[in-house]
Amino acid sequence: MYSKQEKALIFLSTLDIPHGKIAKICESVSFLEDVLFNLEGVSVQLKKILDPAQLEKIQGFSIEKFERTLEKHKEDGIVCVTRLSEGYPEKLLNITNPPFVLYLKGDISLLKAPSIAVVGTRKVSAYGRQVCEMFTKGLVANGFCITSGLAYGIDGVAHKTALAEGGKTIAVLGGGFNKIYPSAHNNLASEIVEKGLLLTEYPPHVEPTAFTFPLRNRIIAGLSLGVLIPEAGEKSGSLHTKEYALDAGLMVFAIPGNITSETSCATNRMICMGSAQGVTSFEEIVSCFQSEVKKLPAKTIQLSIEEEIIVNLLKEGEQDYDALQIKSGFDAKRLTTCLTTMQIRGILDKLAGNTYILK
């Protein structure tokens, strides 16, 4: 399944050796596979690069144990794509320190799909959720895969919306497959494996840390044609993704928000400073990449007369129950039945304070 050189890279990735040292090993040894199959032949080069503890890790790892590790990956549905593999996404080579190995679960063909990264605040507001869903739906309908980081807030909204719309999504993890974070997204991760792609540069046993999360953002950016930030505060991790995207020469889009909102302060500032293009409709993003995608058939929802009235009212923005009743002219029973049905059909969401908003 893997060449000897690919196995050597996978082997090195399991040993918790820093990225820079793996790069030096690749540059220093004539035949990379010797690291795994002829260790004595490259011991001189390795001693110059690795400290004693790291060298001991390599010396104490048997080929038989490594082959069992690969078999376990196969049993768990894990595929490895290395920098030496034919299927390695070329666009990742444009980022800082491209990963030597990608661990994958799900639809591997999505590595080459036209993708837009959708990232932002973990503390998403009702407005942030609304615009994230709106833009994600539009991007999916136009053939884009949605890439994000499986975090709370904007990430989760983007993944869930893409799946609900029958689209594709890639989740890039900050740790191994055995350590999904947050654990509340375990079910979402499983659904992404079935309908999209789960991806990480870390072996299954590696736990995510405060150091690995910012690093995974370079992969989110690198897999994408551009980055959309619907909502972000001053310390949002999405700002790292923005910087990686700009370094790689990618377009960054931000949705303007209320100037008094803490969760829109970063997006508003990006737009003002010119580090992101302000957008108020998904069509503005689609127009930038029309040649990259094949538009999907539009997903239509048949509305009753009552539902159409409610939808038109909610297009003005979120409305509470009393306002909807006054504006629609419906009696309480008719309005309640209509709103309940629309919630079940996934047309609208009910927020706190008996307030409603379009999905």
Residue 267 falls within a domain, yes or no? Answer: yes
Give me the amino acid identity at 359.
K
pLDDT for 296 equals: 55
Residues 273 and 316 in one domain: no
Q: Which of 26, 55, 72 is the last residue of a domain?
A: 72
Are residues 112 and 34 part of one domain?
Answer: no
Which burial class, exposed, middle or buried, applies to 27 when counting CB atoms under 10 A from its CB (0-12, 13-18, 19+)?
exposed
Cβ contact 229:218 at 8 Å: no
Residues 139 and 21 both lie in one domain = no
Task: Quote the Cα angle for 252-136-226, to 5°.
Answer: 20
In this prediction, residue 295 carries a pLDDT of 60
Q: Is residue 199 part of a domain?
A: yes
Which domain range does residue 17 map to?
1-72
**Are 283 and 326 found together in one domain?**
no
DSSP 250: -
Are residues 309 and 287 both part of a single domain? Answer: no
pLDDT at 300: 57
Give the separation between CA 118 and CA 105, rounded to whole angstroms: 20
Boundary of a domain, candidates 265, 292, 319? 292
How many other C-beta atoms lie within 10 A of the C-beta of residue 260? Answer: 7
Number of domains in the chain: 3
Q: What is the pLDDT of residues 36-88, one digit of tens each?
A: 888 888 888 888 898 888 888 788 778 888 899 999 999 999 999 999 998 89
Q: Nearest-5° angle of CA 84, CA 87, CA 88? A: 60
CATH code, domain with 130 = 3.40.50.450
> Which stretches of the chain drop beneath a pLDDT of 50?
298
Residue 77 in any domain: the answer is no
Contact status, residue 231 vs residue 264, Cβ threshold 8 Å: yes
